[in-house]
Structure 1
């Protein structure tokens, strides 16, 4: 008869998110993970397949609970241009409340993991592309509604907005203040046109 799992997988996965997020992929050992998750090393391997496979699950969970949730909520509740403004405003607020300066797990992974692991790099790129696609959809819809300056290139602006987001999240890790983060965002928002 198979043994039942003696731990809550969702809670363990949340603990793994926190562990990787605070330490980074390379600096996190299997021992660190098992301790933070409250499970044994064998359970970690049996359930999650090891550190690398667990990290893939962690990235997916983080994307679902952070960026995907935010995008879905903002697209449902805001006009397109305002959804972009709200997205960036929420990131600023989250950054300022992050007393540990952990930043964004996806951005951290783009810097720390992606250059050394092509498969994980493709996964991180895919999550970042979801954010860029959100920006592009919003700009295209705002263009169609006549809410952006004439000739606004949705693709180019979406790439620019992603770059602004990445830069802002890196600056936030250094403890940048509100004034700095808002100054980074302001010129990008100006490209969208003034709010009515």
Structure 2
């Protein structure tokens, strides 16, 4: 009979996320992970597998508590246009509020992954596509309700918003300047005839 786990999975995954988020996947050693998670290397391997498997699990944990939850919360709003604007506003505030300039773990991971790891690239692509899909669904829903101009191609509009968001998240790591980040978001929203971002 398998032994019950003797650790708080949420707490150890939070620790793994923090280490990967701060240092990146390649620069993080398994010994550093063990130190942060307060687990032995053997325990980590038994519970999560190798470093790559742990990274995938930690990233899933991060996404469950951040991106996926945020998309659900904003998509539940009555106004699709305000859902888009609010999502961008929240992304900017999260970027500006990060004193360590760590950015978004998902975006950072996408920048770090190599062509030699097609499985991880596919996983990251699928997760990033959820953001583009959120923007696309909001545009379609807004056009149906008259909240968003019908002249916009939903696919192109979603791509523009998605690209703008990625640019904001990357820029924030180097130049966390409110005017810069808000200007990028305002330009994208205005070009599509979408509502302005709410005040911070």
TM-score band, normalised by shorter chain = over 0.9
Please state if 1:112 is matched with 2:112: yes
Deviation at 1:79, TM superposition (A): 1.0
Please state if 1:102 is matched with 2:106: no
CA contact (8 A) 2:80 2:147 kept: no
Q: Deviations over 1:164-189 (max 9, x none)?
A: 11111000111321000011111111
- For 1:191 and 1:57, locate their aligned partners in 2 and report how far apart those are by CA, in whole Å: 38
Closer, same or farther: CA 78–33 of 1 in aligned 2, 3 Å: farther
CA contact (8 A) 1:21 1:102 kept: yes
The structure showing larger relative contact order (alpha-carbon pairs under 8 Å, at least 6 residues apart) is 2
TM-score under structure 1 normalisation? 0.95
Please state if 1:85 is matched with 2:85: yes
Q: Deviations over 1:26-57 (max 9, x none)?
A: 00110011100010000010000010001111
RMSD (Å) for aligned C-alpha atoms: 1.5
Report the 3-state secondary structure (helix = DSSP H, G, I; strand = E; otherwise coil) of the residue aligned with 2:149: coil
1:154 is matched with 154
Structure 1 segment 46-65 matched on structure 2, within 5 A: 46-65=46-65
Aligned residues: 196
Deviation at 1:149, TM superposition (A): 2.6
TM-score under structure 2 normalisation? 0.93
Deviation at 1:60, TM superposition (A): 1.0
Which stretch has the larger CA shift, 12-21 or 185-194?
185-194
* Displacement over 3 Å in runs of 4+: 1-4
CA contact (8 A) 1:30 1:41 kept: yes
CA contact (8 A) 1:149 1:191 kept: no
Closer, same or farther: CA 116–11 of 1 in aligned 2, 3 Å: same
Structure 1 segment 5-154 matched on structure 2, within 5 A: 5-154=5-154
- Gap regions ≥5 residues in structure 2: none
